[in-house]
Chains A and B, each alone.
Chain A
Amino acid sequence: MKPMLKNSLKIPYGTRDFLPLEAACKRSIESSLMNLFTKWGYDEIVTPSIEYLDTLTIGNGQAIEPHMFKFFDRQNRTLALRHEMTTPIARVVASRMRDAVRPLKFSYVSNVFRYEQAQAGRQCEFYQAGVEFMGPSTAEADAEIIALAIQGLKQCGLENFTVCIGQIEFINGLMSEFNFSDETQINIREALEKRNLVKLHEIIEQTQLPERSKKILSSLPLLHGDKEILKKAWDIACNEQSRRALDNLSAIYQLLESYGVAEFVKFDLGVIRDFDYYTGMVFEIYTPEMGFPLCGGGRYDRMLSDFGAACPSTGFALGIERIMLAVEREGASSETLKKDCFVAYTPGKIKTAIESAQRKRNEGLVVELAPYAMTKEEAEAYQKEKKYASLLYVE
Chain B
Amino acid sequence: MVRPEFHGSAAEYFRIWIVNLLFTLLSLGIYSAWAKVRKQRYLYGNTSLDGDTFNYFASARTILKGRVLAVVVFFLYAILTELYPDSIWVFLALGVLLLPLILVRALRFNARMSAWRGLRFDFPARVRDAVPLYLGMSLLVVLTLGLAYPWFIAKHKQFVVSHHAFGTSPLGCAVPVGRVYGIHFRAGLIIAGMSLVAVLGAAVLSPVAMLLPEAGWLAFLLPVLAIYIAYAFAYAYLQARMTNLVWQNTYGAGVRFSSTLGAIDLAGLYISNLLAIVFTLGLAVPWAVVRTLRYRMENFAMLVTEEVVHEASPELLNISATGQELGEIFNVSFGV
Q: Are A and B associated in one complex?
A: no
Interface residues of B (CB under 8 A from A): none
Interface residues of A (CB under 8 A from B): none
